[in-house]
């Protein structure tokens, strides 16, 4: 008997604390939606943001955003050019100081760069540098231009110089060490 009483005494406070951890469904906070003016109750997913929640659903939230955009457009049409330029400067300064906006811009830029690489529009993607001028290009000519016999990759601009080949495949004769060795093409470049 003593064991049963001891167990009941030790579990009773635990049951009380568990019961207070749950919200009573009959006593939930209620707010009024700013769009449809209907009451809506607290939800578990809004636990952290309940103070900032103003709309009852995604539909009302979209309608509120659309109303805000339309109000801003009407406000911009009524203002003069000087005022709109000042507002643009202020909004750009807000974007620079707002870390969330900066992260969003960085994400957009990274996505655009990945898309450019995928479509072959990125100028630096897959390019090699010319051994003479160090300019990144999509087409290089492999050739020997010195007495040491090392092969070099040169761009079209450098290949046309008289000290390389003078723009002639077999060489123009001004460089006795010139020897043609083929082409290198960037296959990732857009055709």
Q: What's the DSSP call for residue 170? A: T
pLDDT at 81: 46
| The model's pTM | 0.37
Nearest-angstrom CA–CA distance, 100 and 104: 6
| Cβ-count burial 14-51 (b if 16+ within 10 Å, e if not) | eeeeeeeeeeeeeeeeebebebeeeebeeeeeeeeeee
Region of residue 19 (left: phi > 0; alpha: psi -120 to 50; beta: else) = alpha
Distance of CA 97 to the CA centre of its chain: 17
Q: Which long-range contacts (CB under 8 A, 24 or more apart) does 154-163 make?
A: 154/130, 155/130, 157/130, 157/133, 158/130, 158/132, 158/133
pLDDT tens readout for residues 149-164: 899 999 989 988 888 8
pLDDT band at 18 (very low <50, low <70, confident <90, very high): very low
pLDDT at 27: 85
3-state secondary structure of 29: coil
144: closest CA among 163, 121, 119?
A: 163
DSSP letter string, 98-143: -HHHHHHHHHHHHHHHHHHHHHT--TTTT-EE-TTT--EESEEEEE
Region of residue 127 (left: phi > 0; alpha: psi -120 to 50; beta: else) = beta
pLDDT tens readout for residues 157-187: 998 888 888 888 787 778 888 888 888 888 7
Nearest-angstrom CA–CA distance, 171 and 47: 77
Beta bridge partners of 31: 40
Q: What's the DSSP call for residue 189? A: S
pLDDT tens readout for residues 42-82: 988 888 889 999 999 999 999 999 998 888 888 754 444 44
pLDDT at 74: 82
Q: Do residues 151 and 144 make contact, with C-beta atoms less than 8 angstroms apart?
A: yes
More confident residue, 92 or 117: 117
For the chain, domain boundaries: 24-87, 128-185
């Amino acid at each position: 008997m003593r064991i049963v009483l001891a167990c009941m005494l030790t579990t009773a406070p635990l049951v009380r604390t568990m019961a207070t951890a749950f919200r009573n469904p009959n006593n939930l906070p209620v707010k009024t939606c700013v769009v449809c003016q209907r009451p809506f109750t607290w939800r578990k997913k809004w636990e952290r943001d309940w103070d900032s929640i103003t709309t009852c659903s995604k539909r009302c939230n979209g309608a509120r955003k659309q109303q805000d955009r339309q109000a801003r457009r009407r406000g911009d049409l009524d203002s003069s050019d000087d005022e709109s330029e000042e507002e643009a400067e202020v909004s750009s300064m807000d974007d620079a100081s707002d870390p969330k906006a900066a992260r969003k811009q960085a994400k957009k830029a990274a996505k655009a760069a990945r898309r450019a690489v995928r479509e072959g529009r990125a100028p630096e993607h897959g390019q090699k540098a010319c051994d003479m001028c160090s300019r990144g290009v999509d087409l290089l000519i492999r050739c020997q231009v010195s007495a040491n016999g090392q092969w070099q990759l040169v761009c079209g601009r450098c290949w046309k110089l008289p000290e390389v080949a003078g723009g002639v495949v077999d060489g123009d004769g001004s460089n006795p060490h010139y020897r043609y060795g083929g082409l290198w093409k960037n296959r990732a470049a857009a055709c």
